[in-house]
Amino acid sequence: MKYIVMVLSLMSMIFVVDTVKAEEMMRVRLVNHLGDTEQLNVSFEGEYFTLDPTVHLEEGVTYTLTKKNEKLIVEGGEETYVTSEPFLLIPSTYDYQHSVSINERPYLGAMEIRIEDNKFIRPVNQLPLEDYLKGVVPFEVFPEWSLETLKAQSLAARTYAAMHSGKEIDDTISYQVYGGYMWDKNTTKAVNETEGEVITYKDKLISAFYSASNGGMTENNSHVWGGEALPFFPIKEDPYDPTHPWEFSIHETQIDLDDINGTDPKWWDDLEEKDSEITTNIKSWLNRNGYPGDIKILSIPSFEISGEQLASDRSVIGSISVDFLWQLFDGMVLYQQVNLQDVQLNRIRPIIGGNIFKSYLIESLEKDNNVYTMEGKGYGHGVGMSQWGASVMGENGKSYKEIIEFYFPKTSISNLESDF
């Protein structure tokens, strides 16, 4: 971990940002726009240097980084460098005229590029918290929303980020979506006008959760993640949330076994499921849970939701079974079944996919003509601020402080310069 300390120390000397303290720097693994890749293209605006004295980089040149064994190969212009990872790119001055682009997406601050899992190249962006937020807010909400809504989102995002300062996060919905130095003037204004403001309870930062839509009913943190029920996450009706009704359908039978012609040498490749979007999610889940390789979904023999509900009207327990063919790496094909019976729905939702099975505020699940159809409301966990509800509040003339008060009752707005 010595190189992390060294990079942060260098950046604290280089960055000319008076309000930045060491604990207010963010370290962000770039995953969302890159995925897992073995090659990156890197270019610069302004002067950047590395800690490898053999590497000399030029502005305006696009460099290609690839992995070879435990080394990184840097090629650009007429030069080729071989360097050990991590490969550090540090601006000579921290300002908005210095940026490093990864696959044509610009980022401020420094970039650490390392080999991950001995397979992939992973950049990690390091920059001050406030500038990090300017790359978060326009990707978490619509910049066209009212300024007061954007300010409320800025406070929630800043509080969440401050809770994770000093740690390494990524740029996906697992933390907060971050798009680098692709700012919007409206969201930048919202971040600037609320600079340093965070949400606190009894002089401590809160976990300022938010989701797209709570479906008209907020949720308590303990119902989603367990632990102590916190008073600033009450269960109550939300008159501002547009509820966002949703539904999806999936056929019980995806591939009929009677239609499989095992004598055809192309029989495996010709198999197609009826609901490809959902079955792709199911196969990805199976790959992550003990079934690596190629899979064909045959059927979903059972899919049920129990009648048990929380005080927020959200469902808790369900069952699902999946029959599938699993092709091993040697070509052998096995018939398999996964059966989850009376389990927490947070184990089933990832199988279907959170972008399809959008919340636990389920209104119905019915089976008709061998097709399951589920209907529900909301999008996300429902704890804390509803982003769409905050949008409506802003349109109705509510201030960002009123939005925060509604979604995080009993809390205060404090300044990050205080010692939490």
**How do residues 318-330 score in pLDDT, each as one tens digit?**
999 999 999 998 8
Q: What is the mean pLDDT of residues 245-265?
A: 91
Instruction: Report pLDDT digits (tens) over 388-411.
Output: 999 999 999 999 999 999 999 999
Integer Cα distance of 323 and 253 in angstroms = 9
Coil/strand/helix, residue 406: helix
Domain housing 85: 2-128
Cα-Cα-Cα-Cα torsion 189, 190, 192, 197, nearest 10 degrees, comes to 170
Residue 185 and residue 234 share a domain = yes
Residue 370 and residue 249 share a domain = yes
Q: Apex CA 123: angle with CA 119 and CA 128, to 5°?
A: 155
Residue 288 and residue 183 share a domain = no
Sign of the CA dihedral with 364 first, then 370, 371, and 372 last: positive
Whether the Cβ atoms of residue 72 and residue 113 lie closer than 8 Å to each other: yes
Per DSSP, 401 falls in state H
| Residue 78 token pair | 């007429």
pLDDT at 47: 93
Question: Residue 189: pLDDT above 50?
Answer: yes
Integer Cα distance of 179 and 193 in angstroms = 21
Classify residue 420: in a domain, yes or no. no
Residue 66 and residue 117 share a domain = yes
Lowest mean pLDDT among 32-36, 53-57, 231-235, 410-414: 53-57
pLDDT at 18: 41
Residue 149 and residue 98 share a domain = no
pLDDT at 333: 92
pLDDT at 259: 83
DSSP class per residue in 94-138: -STT-EEEETTEEE-SEEEEEEETTTEEEEEEEEEHHHHHHTTHH
Residue 370 and residue 329 share a domain = yes
Question: Residue 207: pLDDT above 80?
Answer: yes
Coil/strand/helix, residue 213: strand
Residue 235 and residue 168 share a domain = yes
Q: What is the mean pLDDT of residues 233-250?
A: 96
Instruction: Report pLDDT digits (tens) over 67-97.
Output: 887 789 999 988 899 988 789 999 999 999 9
Residue 406 and residue 334 share a domain = no
How far, in Å, are 27, 51, 127, 223 from residue 111 at the CA level?
9, 12, 9, 38
Lowest mean pLDDT among 44-58, 201-215, 403-417: 44-58
Classify residue 218: in a domain, yes or no. yes
pLDDT at 5: 43
Residue 358 and residue 251 share a domain = yes
| Nearest residue to 391 via CA among 169, 190, 100 | 190
Question: Residue 418: pLDDT above 80?
Answer: no
Integer Cα distance of 359 and 356 in angstroms = 9
Whether the Cβ atoms of residue 267 and residue 223 lie closer than 8 Å to each other: no
Question: Residue 9: pLDDT above 60?
Answer: no
pLDDT band at 6 (very low <50, low <70, confident <90, very high): very low
Q: What is the mean pLDDT of residues 150-166?
A: 95
Residue 119 and residue 56 share a domain = yes
Q: Is the pTM of this model over 0.95?
A: no
Question: Residue 15: pLDDT above 70?
Answer: no
Count of domains observed in the chain: 3
Whether the Cβ atoms of residue 307 and residue 365 lie closer than 8 Å to each other: no
Residue 334 and residue 249 share a domain = yes
Q: What is the mean pLDDT of residues 364-390?
A: 97
How far, in Å, are 189, 210, 328 from residue 183 at the CA level?
10, 21, 46
Residue 401 and residue 362 share a domain = no
